[in-house]
Amino acid sequence: MFGNKQKETTTPIPEIKEEEVIMNEPVSQAQESTVSASTPNTNVVGPGITLNGDVDTLGNLLVEGIIKGDVKAESMMAISKTAEVDGNVKAKSAQISGKVTGKIDVQDILVLSSSAVVMGDITSSKLVVESGAQFNGSCTMVSNDAAAKMKAVNAKAASVTSTSLPTSPPPSSSSIKETANPAKPR
């Protein structure tokens, strides 16, 4: 009982030298040119600009200044290192290098660069967080199919509420009987 102690074996962890570690190229450097001021159909909130209010654009959006309000881009959005957004962010894809305080909803890919500071919840189908990025909130991952279904449901709900309803009240049950069963001659 006490004398049957088996020898414990330990496997040493091999030491990995720094030169043996393979580092991938940061995503932000690979995608840095995705949205710039020279990209066609790009709207820019430049450095030194403070915008109080919501922003909604059909094209790309490059934020280099400060926005105090919700921001929506139908296409791509880039929030630079110097930028701050105090509001909700919604885009097809986004790269954040600056500071965002609010909910972030991205259909496709969201990249949090090493300088990003995000305080709020994230919903995205793909998320890349570089080393050094700060994120305080919850993250919900959705598939592109689920995002498309939600968009279709929201569009259908919007069209139902926007259809016009008849202004006259519906006929009463007695008037329906009279028209359905004509009176018999006496």
Closest by CA to 90, choosing from 115, 78, 107, is: 107
Tell me how many degrees the CA angle 128-133-138 measures, rounded to the nearest 5. 70
Domain ranges of the chain: 25-152
CB 95 within 8 Å of CB 78 = yes
Q: Per residue of the chain (186 residues), what is the pLDDT tens digit? A: 565 555 555 656 666 666 655 555 555 444 443 666 566 678 999 999 999 999 999 999 999 999 999 999 999 999 999 999 999 999 999 999 999 999 999 999 999 999 999 999 999 999 999 999 999 999 999 987 655 666 666 667 666 655 545 555 555 555 445 445 555 555
- Beta-bridge partners for 71: 55, 89
pTM for the predicted model, two decimal places? 0.61
pLDDT value of residue 32: 42
List beta partners, residue 124. Answer: 106, 141
The most distant pair of C-alpha atoms in the chain lies apart, rounded to whole Å, by 114
Taking a C-beta distance cutoff of 8 angstroms, is the pair 83, 102 a contact?
A: no
158 and 174 Cβ atoms separated by less than 8 Å: no
Kind of pairing between the strands at 117-119 and 60-63:
unpaired
